[in-house]
Structure 1
Amino acid sequence: MRDYRLNLINKAISSVAGLVVSVIIARYLGVVLRGELAFITQAVGMLAVIFGMGLNQAFPYFFRTEPNRRTLDTFLRLFAVQFVFYAVAAGLLAFLVPDRTVRCLLLLLVVTVLYQQMESAMAVYHIRLKIWTNIGISVLRILAHAGMLLWLPSSLVWPVVISSGTWLAAILAYIIGVGGLSRGRLDADRAKRIVSYSWLPMFTSLLIIMNYNIDTLMLKWLGSPEDLGNYAVAAGIVVYLWVIPDAIKEVLMSRVARSSDVRAAVLPLKAAVVLGVLSVVFIIAFGPLLIPLLYGEDFAAAYGLCAVLSIGVISMIYYKVLGVVMLSEGRRVFYFATLAVAVLLNSVANLVVIPAYGAYGAAGASVASYTVTGGAFLVYFCRVKELRLRDVAVVGRGDLRVLRNVGRRVAA
């Protein structure tokens, strides 16, 4: 219970920090450059999954089978080997290609790979270290971006530099928090087993991020710069609707890595759904006022896109929470196949609807993809756990009473 409470506090602070940072960046860059930055960060997100080789997704499975420091050390050594290799390769490529955008992408990519790996490992191994580190990084991000807005000229470079610096600070905090990197050589046999397992999680993660980001990438290709900028802000706002479900998911990841009790997933799932519905209602009701007030009148058009995208939030809650259970239990094939179908649907739909409907077409295609993914995960979970669909999908009065009592204990 304490972990859930602490992580909810962390997510609240992270949400405020993320909102403040997103407002600063939007006002700092304007509509067109904000869209360009979104394209760069989404591209880095996809490349980071590929170059991460699925090691961060493999950690929960291997730690569940052998929950000790030796498992962590093996993964940390793998992360370190990757980081050194990528840093050298990126440095050489940056020297050969004197393009500012390419250099920014390389810098952000190298740091993001290691940051994602360390964060995923800490979510399982030391959830409280991860939470406190995130709180500190949230404060640092606000201060750094505020300084950027006040003192630096408008440029795509500075947001990338600040992001890279804050991720490096988080990485250092994680390493110090677990007592540093232990001495010893990398166990080649264990490393081979990890890498042979991790290729499917890597492709799975790539499909996940493609399902999230393919709309932005295709808008860059098929839409207008204004559509891209407004869509980037709308998609960023919708991310905040997942903050509490993500907080529940992260603690759940640590719990299910150590337990097979189905109750460890169902009640948190229902809590996430209730809070997700409340978040969607809030953004639809108050978005017309808040978006222009925070981001400026230039981004007022982002509200309609935000309202459409928010429809898919509930479906994605089922995917996010139940996906943790499936990966921890090694149910990789279904996870991969479902995401592959969703990405294919999303990509084809975007090709058809963006030329005709622009950013609204991209939003509708994303909602359809999210609905397919969340629905499939829900049905499959009920089948393998021998549960009735309504017992998992429907939040009844009894569930609300239980959740209210749990909420009171969390707040106490």
Structure 2
Amino acid sequence: MPLASVVKDLASVASSKGAMIVFGLGKAMIIARYLGPELNGVITALLVYPTLFMTFGALGVRKSSAFLIGSGQFGEEDVKAGVLQAWLVSTLFSVVSIFILIYYLSNGSHQPLIIFLAIAPVPFSLLNTYLSGIYLGNNQIAEYNKVEWVPTFILFLATVVLVVFAGLSLKGALIAELLAPFLMSVLLISRMRVQKYLSLRINRQLLGSLFSLGMAFAVSLLVINLNYRVDVIIMDWLSNKFEIGIYSKGSVLSQYLWQIPMLLGTIVFARGARATDRRVFSLKVTQLLRISLLIIGSGCVVLALGARLIIMILFGSEFLPSAEVMLWLMPGVLLLTIFKVLNMDMGGQGKPWFALKSMVPALGLNIVLNILLIPRYGAVGAAFTSTLSYSLGGILFLYQYSSATGISIREIFAYSREDFAFLDPYIKKIKNRLG
């Protein structure tokens, strides 16, 4: 993994993640100020099932297709044809399943139009997810990044137009959620011309590889994402929409901190599928982890010290209780960074089941404590529970990763001058300009 190549990919992904954070925060601010805590809670509760189930409905095809292309097991054209066939099946399955979940499990009486708007983005989001795996498998990081940040930009603009100027409130916010993936799908179809790969001829070996490996990724991702969203589901049953709204805005900033390890993780996964020397690559991943921990740790300190002021500026005084939620989440966010980065190494090796060893116990703890604490403590109880769950998951994964790779925990956290070598060219330029 040449350093210059890593720096180039890092800069590309950094700009993408930066755009996602800016536009995502902009949308969150608009929704908070124009809809208030309760309607924010309604949106969060309504979208939790599409967001969560789409993780499983995607069947891990993005990662499995990236792995199959990156490892050279199948040609790109064959994978594209298989991906489209998988998309048609999974779309039908996902839409029906999500409708059942919202209709029967959501604690609220929603109009048919509202339910339709909540479900309608799913086919397009799935298509975008599937097709982005082609870019990832070819190590086309810049193209992959566009699939990540462009929908966020479209969503922000649509929210401004429909919520701020058109005054459509809840319906406007949901229509914006639909427009973003739909327009991205149009762009991808136009660019990749995937329609020519639609075929009734089934490559059983390819589809078998996509679904067998993809199912493993899907189950793993479902358990991981349940750890992030089960609190909202339980709050929908045991609390109220106001508390959900407060929790959603308290957690949104901490979730943006995770864009840092995800930034690094995108590079790790794409290169992991092609890596030959696994130990050398794993050592490079631990180096990325150490850098991530420094950056995220600093971010956590800043958010903790300025929690109330930050919430007030971004979301308004109605959301001030979200500051306490954010404070309780910080330790867990930092510790789960260990999992966020190191798991990309195992995913890059085609070992999605590995994450379940730590995430299943963490999910069990999350569910039990949420049921016990949410009725009494609401959003704060959910935040405290999340921190305990994240911490358990991160620590368990650390020990399991160390055992699997043969890299000691001491070695994983041992900082060295080499960790910051990527800064040398920039430091040299500054010195030359000053000197």
Alignment TM-score, normalising by the size of structure 1: 0.90
The question of whether the paired residues in 2 share the 8 Å contact of 1:62 and 1:71 is answered with no
CA distance in 2: counterparts of 1:375 and 1:410, whole angstroms: 40
Q: Which range moved further: 155-164 or 113-122? A: 113-122
Is 2:58 aligned against 1:52?
yes
Q: 2:80 aligns with which of 73, 79, 82?
A: 73
% identical equivalent positions: 19
How far the C-alpha of 1:80 sits from its partner, in A, is 3.9
Opposite residue 256 of structure 2, the aligned amino acid is Y
Listed as ranges, the gaps of 5+ residues in structure 2 are 1-6, 103-109
2:224 match: 208
How far the C-alpha of 1:407 sits from its partner, in A, is 7.0
Opposite residue 393 of structure 1, the aligned amino acid is F
Q: 2:46 aligns with which of 40, 44, 52?
A: 40
2:384 match: 364
How far the C-alpha of 1:389 sits from its partner, in A, is 0.5
**Deviation per residue, 1:85-128 (Å, 9 max, x gap):** 469969x999xx97223212321333333333334443343321
2:26 match: 20
Q: 2:194 aligns with which of 180, 190, 206?
A: 180
CA distance in 1: counterparts of 2:324 and 2:66, whole angstroms: 38
How far the C-alpha of 1:129 sits from its partner, in A, is 0.6
Q: How does 1:201-280 map to 2 (within 5 A)?
A: 201-259=217-275, 260=278, 261-280=281-300
How far the C-alpha of 1:18 sits from its partner, in A, is 0.6
Opposite residue 421 of structure 2, the aligned amino acid is V
Is 2:175 aligned against 1:161?
yes
Is 2:120 aligned against 1:107?
yes
**Deviation per residue, 1:7-47 (Å, 9 max, x gap):** 11111121111110100111121110101101122111122
1:287 match: 307
CA distance in 2: counterparts of 1:315 and 1:121, whole angstroms: 31
CA distance in 2: counterparts of 1:122 and 1:303, whole angstroms: 39
Aligned residue for 1:262, secondary structure, equals helix
Opposite residue 49 of structure 2, the aligned amino acid is A
Aligned residue for 1:216, secondary structure, equals helix
**Deviation per residue, 1:252-305 (Å, 9 max, x gap):** 111111113223312222221111111111211222212112211101110110
Q: Which range moved further: 99-108 or 21-30? A: 99-108
Q: 1:189 aligns with which of 195, 201, 205?
A: 205
How far the C-alpha of 1:213 sits from its partner, in A, is 0.2
Is 2:383 aligned against 1:354?
no
Alignment TM-score, normalising by the size of structure 2: 0.85
Opposite residue 141 of structure 1, the aligned amino acid is L
Q: Decide whether aligned partners of structure 1 residues 410 and 236 sit closer, same or farther in structure 2, where only a CA change above 3 A counts.
A: farther
Q: How does 1:318-397 map to 2 (within 5 A)?
A: 318-394=338-414, 396=415
Q: Decide whether aligned partners of structure 1 residues 400 and 109 sit closer, same or farther in structure 2, where only a CA change above 3 A counts.
A: same
CA distance in 1: counterparts of 2:353 and 2:239, whole angstroms: 34
Aligned residue for 2:28, secondary structure, equals helix
Aligned residue for 2:115, secondary structure, equals helix
2:105 match: none
1:143 match: 157
CA distance in 2: counterparts of 1:384 and 1:64, whole angstroms: 23
1:171 match: 185
The question of whether the paired residues in 2 share the 8 Å contact of 1:319 and 1:373 is answered with yes
Q: Which range moved further: 181-190 or 242-251? A: 181-190
How far the C-alpha of 1:50 sits from its partner, in A, is 3.0
Q: 2:424 aligns with which of 397, 405, 408?
A: 405
For the aligned residue pairs, the C-alpha RMSD in angstroms reads 2.9
Opposite residue 318 of structure 1, the aligned amino acid is I
How far the C-alpha of 1:409 sits from its partner, in A, is 9.0
CA distance in 2: counterparts of 1:355 and 1:88, whole angstroms: 31
**Deviation per residue, 1:216-248 (Å, 9 max, x gap):** 111111123221110011111211111222111
Aligned residue for 2:392, secondary structure, equals helix
The question of whether the paired residues in 2 share the 8 Å contact of 1:140 and 1:166 is answered with yes
Q: Which range moved further: 64-73 or 364-373? A: 64-73
Number of residue pairs matched? Answer: 409
The question of whether the paired residues in 1 share the 8 Å contact of 2:358 and 2:396 is answered with yes
Aligned residue for 1:37, secondary structure, equals helix
CA distance in 1: counterparts of 2:158 and 2:387, whole angstroms: 34
1:131 match: 145
Q: Decide whether aligned partners of structure 1 residues 363 and 78 sit closer, same or farther in structure 2, where only a CA change above 3 A counts.
A: same
The question of whether the paired residues in 1 share the 8 Å contact of 2:53 and 2:94 is answered with no
CA distance in 2: counterparts of 1:133 and 1:190, whole angstroms: 24
CA distance in 2: counterparts of 1:9 and 1:237, whole angstroms: 18
